[in-house]
A and B are shown apart, each in its own frame.
Chain A
Amino acid sequence: MSVVIDIAAQFTGKRAFQQAENAADKLGRTVKHALIGVGVTAFAQSAIKAFAENEKQLQLFKNSLQSIGFEFATNDSLAFLNSLKLQFGVTDNQLIPAYEQLLTTTRSLAASQNLTNIAMDIAARQGISVTQAADALSKAYIGNTRAIGSLGLGISKATLASGDFAAIVKEITNITKGSAAAAADTFSGKLSRLARAADTAKESIGAGLVEALMQITKSQDIEQLQTKIINFGESSAEVLTKMGKLISDNIELIKVFGAVMLAGFAITKVAAFITALQTIIKTVNVLRNSAIAAAVAQMFMLNPLGGALMAAAMIATIAGVIKSVDILTAKAEKAGETIRAVGTEQLGRGGDQGGAAKVAEGASARAARDAKKAAADQLKATKAQTKAVQDQAKLKKAQSLFDLDKVQILAALQGKLSEDEKLRLQLQFALLTDNAKEADRLSNQLAISQIKTTDLATAIAKLPPALNPFASFPQWIQDAINEINKLKFAVSTGPTTTPGSPVVPPAIISPSGAAYTPPAPINIPTMGVNPQTSLPGYRDYRAGERASINVTVQGNVISNKDLADTIRMQLLDSSASGSFSMSNRATRGD
């Protein structure tokens, strides 16, 4: 089981409708066959067969009732079963055996009819045959409840175990009541009812046919009728051959006769010719029918049954002959019209002024008609051509919407482009849209633009080579080195200065040989300390006041804490080895 929400569905035809249509078609075909005579034999055979089967079944039923002493109730039982059959659409094949079994078991007409109704309800509810249901009921009636239990009706085990048939029936009735009626009211049930009605009709027809055939052939029974039918089949083959030959011969005769008549009549006697031909054809038809009728009559004389069937079979042949005659008639009429037209023209040429005028009028009218028709055709053709052109234009327009090349060009034109690129794109677009004029204009413009671009390139090519901005760098560096050397030289050869005296820079000859003019002397203030002797000694500093202390630590010192820990551990080691030290500022622990 699944739960579904339908979004979109399509009607694909109803199965029941299709069944009904098929059934209707089948019925229609059967009736049609019966009516037109083509299927008369088949239908008659089928009807006779159905009748025979029904007759046999009824005979057996009668025998059964007779054997149990209910022969008197045969007609009532059959009426009851017929009513059930038509009411619920159940076949005799199921109903009669079921009823028979129930009656045999219960030996009560009322009980068997009641149980037949219940069996039909069970059958409809459980989808089994009435015979099966009746069988289960019969068994339950005699105390065997297993079969009725296995039907799955939901009868309680206690009831089944009790074996109380009345209680079982009561429970079954409660469960299945109205099932048969409900099933019969469905479309399928209605179809079944129709089918049963058709079967009954068929059987009746079969009975009628057999009766009729027996009366015609003066047969005492079916066996005698069968013998006569077989004899008829053998004799009719020969007669049919004769009939076919007769008809075929007559057709040739008619054709030859018609041709002779056509050739024999003068053109000026058209009306007489037509009348005569029609009369002849009618005469031939009458003769033909008479001939066929004679053949049929002959057949009747040979064998009444064969005559009846032959009459039906010959209808088709006659229809064929008539059709041929009709075709010939139509052709003859057409030939007559043509000849008539030729005749009137000939008459016109023969000097009949009135006739000539009429012919002339006719010709002019025809010419006018032809001209009108030609104009209409021309208009139609023009319209069709215009429509085709319009369609092409529409198509082209629609296609342009999806033309990727054009779309890309248009998109590119929207962006920032140089004049040359723009021209190229516009030219490409013009070529794609088959715009020759625009393409020509743009190609000229593009050529000019390209020439301009070429000139520019030439000018650029002629430009002198660019100067190296770093060409003078080595010289500048060399100059800087020279200056440094001068300073170095000055420092190394400078006079000893005494505090308070002006420092006179010496005359310096630069390495390059250029004269160097020293600047004016500078007075250096004295600080009261001899710079050579006033430098502090290593021991003048206390621990922690020196500029840098190198501490080698084994392991990693990443943070201040690591350093502090390391120092602390070193101090502890020193303390342990007798070099005690302590610093406790807060408590002045020294």
Chain B
Amino acid sequence: MTQRLGKMATEVKGLIELKKTLKHYDTDLSVQLDDQMSLALGGVVKKAQSYVPGSSPLSNWSYRRRTEFFTNAEGKKIRKFPLYNSARVVKGIQYSGTPRRANKNGFKAVYYIINKSADGSIYETAGRKNPNGQPWVGPKGDPFDHSVSHSNNPNAGAQFIQAFGPIYQGNIESSTKRGRYMKGRLIYRAWAEDGGKANAAALIAIYNVNEQFKKKQYFNKVAK
């Protein structure tokens, strides 16, 4: 039922169908699966939440009341750089069993741990691609180009990343993603420290529920 693919999570064929079937025909097993996934992934989520700093690593990055958008000279609405809100970051770290949209390779993540908030994602991944910050172009650069730094301070990127502290490599033995795509300070750090136990528990839970469902189906069939 399971198969590991390059650069993907473990592929579980028919997982979406299994979830739908359980939801409609065997709610007990569906609840059991949810409970077991909660046990398997909840620990990593809690651990990741514990790594969220209580206050902003940079004093001027703290959340304060302000308008979140501004309109540029051409009348386009542009979102401002998000401010750090510790509670929002903690709330945004979750696990989920709701299938996401398929990615470009056609794979749909069914169970996943997610760092939802924009500020949380920034804290998680800052310095992953450019350890010394993005190339600096200054405020005159294209405002829609998010791959460059628009700050007045040419060293803003480096200082910003430096304040966050080290970034951790989140690879575990079973990870198929490698390199910077598995680096982070919150969920990837917790994931690496878990050492693959949560991953194994989640897959075993799916396998067990599937087996139980198959047995039930077999018995029902034979009984008929």
Report the minimal beta-carbon distance from A13 to chain B, rounded to whole angstroms: 5
The 20 sampled A-B contact pairs (Cβ below 8 Å) are: A3-B114, A4-B100, A4-B114, A5-B114, A7-B41, A7-B203, A8-B15, A8-B206, A9-B9, A9-B10, A12-B107, A15-B102, A152-B142, A154-B141, A154-B145, A156-B140, A157-B140, A391-B222, A395-B223, A399-B219
Residues of chain A contacted by B95 (CB below 8 angstroms): 7
Q: Are B219 and A7 in contact (CB under 8 A)?
A: no
> Which A residues from 382 to 435 make CB contacts under 8 A with B?
391-392, 394-395, 398-399
Please measure, in the bound complex, the distance between the C-alpha atom of A14 and the C-alpha atom of B118, giving whole angstroms.
Answer: 28
B16 at the A/B interface (Cβ < 8 Å)? yes
Residues B142 and A395 in contact, CB atoms below 8 Å apart:
no
Known: A1-B121, A2-B121. A10 touches B11 (CB 8 A): yes
Q: How large is the interface on A (under 10, 10 to 19, 20 to 34, 35 or more residues)?
A: 20 to 34
In the complex, the answer to whether A6 meets B9 with C-beta atoms within 8 Å is yes
B188 touches A5 (CB 8 A): yes
A7-B199, A152-B142 known, 18 other contacts, Cβ within 8 Å: A3-B115, A4-B112, A5-B9, A5-B188, A6-B112, A7-B109, A7-B198, A8-B12, A9-B12, A9-B107, A10-B16, A10-B108, A11-B5, A11-B13, A14-B105, A391-B222, A394-B222, A399-B219
The answer for the CA separation of A14 and B102 in the assembled complex, in Å, is 8
- By a CB distance below 8 angstroms, the chain A residues around B121 are 1-3
Q: Check if A257 is an interface residue, CB within 8 A of chain B.
A: no
Interface residues in chain B, defined as those with a beta carbon under 8 Å from any beta carbon in chain A: 5, 8-16, 41, 74, 92, 95, 99-100, 102, 104-118, 120-121, 124-125, 140-142, 144-145, 170, 184, 187-188, 191, 198-199, 202-203, 206, 215, 219, 222-223
Q: Which residue of B lies closest to A155 (CB)?
A: B142
Q: Which residues of B contact A17 (CB under 8 A)?
A: 106
Q: Chain A: residues with CB nearer than 8 A to chain B?
A: 1-17, 150, 152-154, 156-157, 391-392, 394-395, 398-399
Alpha-carbon gap, A42 to B212, bound state (A): 55
CB distance from A160 to the nearest CB of B (A): 11
Residues on the A chain within 8 Å of B11, using CB? 8-11
A contact face: mostly helix, strand, loop, or mixed: mixed
Q: Which residues of A contact B187 (CB under 8 A)?
A: 3, 5
* CB pair A5 B112 closer than 8 Å: yes
B114 contact from A2, A152, A156, A394, Cβ within 8 A:
A2
Give Cα A16–Cα B124 distance, bound, in whole angstroms.
31
Whether B9 pairs with A8 at a CB distance below 8 angstroms is yes
- A7-B10 contact, Cβ under 8 Å, with A15-B106, A153-B142: yes
The contact of A9 among B104, B110, B142, B191, by CB within 8 Å, is B110
Given A1-B118, A154-B141, A391-B222: A12 and B9 within 8 A (CB)? Answer: no
Known: A12-B102, A154-B145. A5 touches B113 (CB 8 A): yes
